[in-house]
Amino acid sequence: MAGALVIRGLSKSFGAFRAVEGVSLEVAPGHVHSLIGPNGAGKTTAFNCVSGFLKPDAGQVLLDGRDVTGWAPHRLVSAGMARTFQITRVFGELTVLENVALAARSQEGMNLEMWRPAGSVATAQARALDILTTLGLADRAESNAEHLAHGEKRVLEIAIALALQPTVILLDEPTAGMSSGETERIAALIRSLSARASVLLVEHDMEIVLGISDVVTVMTQGSVIASGPPSAISRDARVQEAYLGVTAAVGAAC
């Protein structure tokens, strides 16, 4: 199965400020890999470097062996990488179905088709409806995307990403601003995604992350301090210190 994402020695500075330094991690195919760390750790910067929204100063990003470092976002999509956004950026004035169909048509290479009406691309429409049904949004298909609840918009973002038929999905703080009920739903959804693609997600919430990930990488102040399965990470002294500011001894007692 495809979807191996390898990041090596990623670095990015803004002037004198080293936001990301020498970050490396590997997402194995079919895994859910979480990148987590306190505020200002540099996770978002690293994430943007991988997904083509920032140009890294150094380092490599390899997607299934291909060097895609510094590629523009639209090229990364054709290479099999899709991402969602922390601040949802669905196309509000379009319907939910249209949002997904747009991505589906893009994936089918129809972006330069100037004659046929967009709605007549049956394959895209069918696939879009399919994805929406799987994700439980089919009943909102004809609503304008801007009228969706926050949690539904998040799901829509994932639907759009899926329409691109990626081998790796990058999720940017997928549970931000969600109620606990919605969070559960999203967490289950993310777990189910790993059947189709590898998932790299950036998150704050340690609890969720420990529950759904196969591998967790922890960053603080621009560097990786720990990486491994959730059980190891939750016991890692340095992680606890970074997050909770407590000493290892106290941590062990908890």
Partner 1 sequence: MRKTAGLRGLVLPLVAAGILAILPYAGASPFTITLLTESLIFAIWAMSLDLLVGYTGLVSFGHAAAFGLAAYAAGYFAREVTGDFFFALLVAEAVVIPVALGFGFVVARVSGIAFAVISLCIAQVLFTIAVTWRSVTNGMDGLVGVPLPRVAGVTLASGNAFYLLTVLCLVAVYLWLTRLVDSPFGRTLQAIRTNEERAASIGIDVHRHKWLAFVLSWAVAALAGTLMVFLKAGTTPMSLHWTESGNVLIMTIFGGIGTLLGPVLGSTVFVFVRDEFTTRFKAWQFVFGLVFVVVVLLFPTGLVGAVNRIRSFLWRARS
Q: Which residues in this chain contact partner 1 in the complex, by CB under 8 A?
A: 51-53, 72-74, 77-78, 82-83, 85, 89-93, 102-103, 105-107, 110-121, 160, 163-164
3-state helix, strand, coil in the chain (%, to 5): 40, 25, 35
Q: How far is the CB of 149 from partner 1 (least distance, A)?
A: 20
State how far the Cα of 146 lies from the Cα of 131, in Å rounded to an integer. 19
Nearer Cβ to partner 1 (202/218)? 202
Matching residue, tokens 């194995």:
28
Q: How far is the CB of 44 from partner 1 (least distance, A)?
A: 14
Within the chain, strands assigned E span 5-14, 17-27, 32-36, 58-63, 66-67, 81-83, 168-172, 198-203, 215-220, 223-228
Nearer Cβ to partner 1 (112/253)? 112
Nearer Cβ to partner 1 (187/199)? 199
Residue environment code for 21-44, b if the CB has 16+ CB neighbours within 10 A, otherwise e: bebebebeebbbbbbbbbeebbbb
Token representation of residue 192: 């189910």
Query: For the chain, how many residues are written?
Result: 254
Nearer Cβ to partner 1 (84/175)? 84
Q: How far is the CB of 95 from partner 1 (least distance, A)?
A: 12
State how far the Cα of 109 lies from the Cα of 224, in Å rounded to an integer. 38
Nearer Cβ to partner 1 (40/73)? 73
Q: How far is the CB of 227 from partner 1 (least distance, A)?
A: 27
Q: How far is the CB of 14 from partner 1 (least distance, A)?
A: 19
